Structure 1
Amino acid sequence: MRCADSDRDLVAEVLNAAFAEGRITQDEHSERMDALWQAKTFGELTPLTEDLMPHGPIHHLPVPVSGQGAGLVVDPSNANQNPDSITCVMGDVKRQGHWRLRRRTTGLVLMGDVKLDLTEAVMEAAECTIAIPCIMGDVTITVPDGVNVRNETTTILGDTKIRGLAPVPAGAPTIVLRGMVLMGDVKVNGPGFVPLTKRLGLTS
């Protein structure tokens, strides 16, 4: 049976997770990725993951990718193909605990405050994009270890800060930040970030 792009994407996410965990080397990752994009049938995909998945190749299982027990998981099974939407106008939006970050999140923050805690979240793809224009508001994203954050925002009298994240290997799950930040702030806080109030001893 011939495979589709969505099948190749699933295998790519398994290979990226295996490389991030150190179960395959960089050369093995490159060789398998080359073979992946040349594959036309499921028979050609099977050997690429059969030694990586606990219940056989290309199995729809969550793939842990975080380090130090941070709890981050990439799980492309049952992924929602529609973009998520977060709209916050002069209000507050919070997402925390166990929730799913879709491949793409859009919306608008206007004079509002959005807090996204990914420490217990599930990413529905190895690369997820958060594209939320922030106008005179604040967006704070808390991420665990083992995640790469790529900043592609456009700032106008605003600021985008990524703090407290350790370097990650190539192929690690990635969050891409996009959108315009106009007189607002977008902050990404990793485990190594210590708030000023705590550094000054004002909070525990």
Structure 2
Amino acid sequence: MNTIDHPLATAYLDAVARETAELPAERRAELLADLREHIEVSGAEGEQQLREVLADLGEPRTVAASALAEEPVAPAATTAEPPRTGRAWPAVLPLTAAGPLFLFNMPLGGAVLLIGLWLLWNSPLWDQPSKTIGTATAAAPPVAVLFGSFLLAAPRIGPTELLLLLAFTLAVPAIGAVTLLRAARR
């Protein structure tokens, strides 16, 4: 019987093959070919000599670990992930709507704002700075509306000021929404 066809050699090579499944196919085939060649040229006659040759090569796990350690770390296979903005809308929409709603119905606007903030801060889509920007741009209009409502008692607040307040409650959350959507794409 040829040394390489011996059940011990076959079992050894199979074990190395299993342990090196993470290696690129070309590198794995090269390693197994080198081991086969070493076993064949060893000239081992009999089971005892073959056991010694295999022991000199090392345990299959050790051989595999060495081969894997020598292999450069391959970048993880990237799958084309669709933009994450589709999942961003459930948080962005209430944050954007809260300001204008606050103008017409403060309790409803406040509830929508709290829901949007909860969704924003519990979402993995954004980092801390993006969440802070989203919070600031969503909270600024209600603060401006509250401040403006205190000033409405003053006689100098007119339609122009109210239009400016409306523009502010629309523009600032829109800027925040664009910022959050861009951050979610990264």
Higher relative contact order (CA 8 A, sep 6+): 2
TM-score over 0.5 for the alignment? no
Larger Rg: 2
**By percentage of residues, which structure has more helix?**
2
Q: TM-score, normalised by structure 1?
A: 0.21
**By percentage of residues, which structure has more strand?**
1
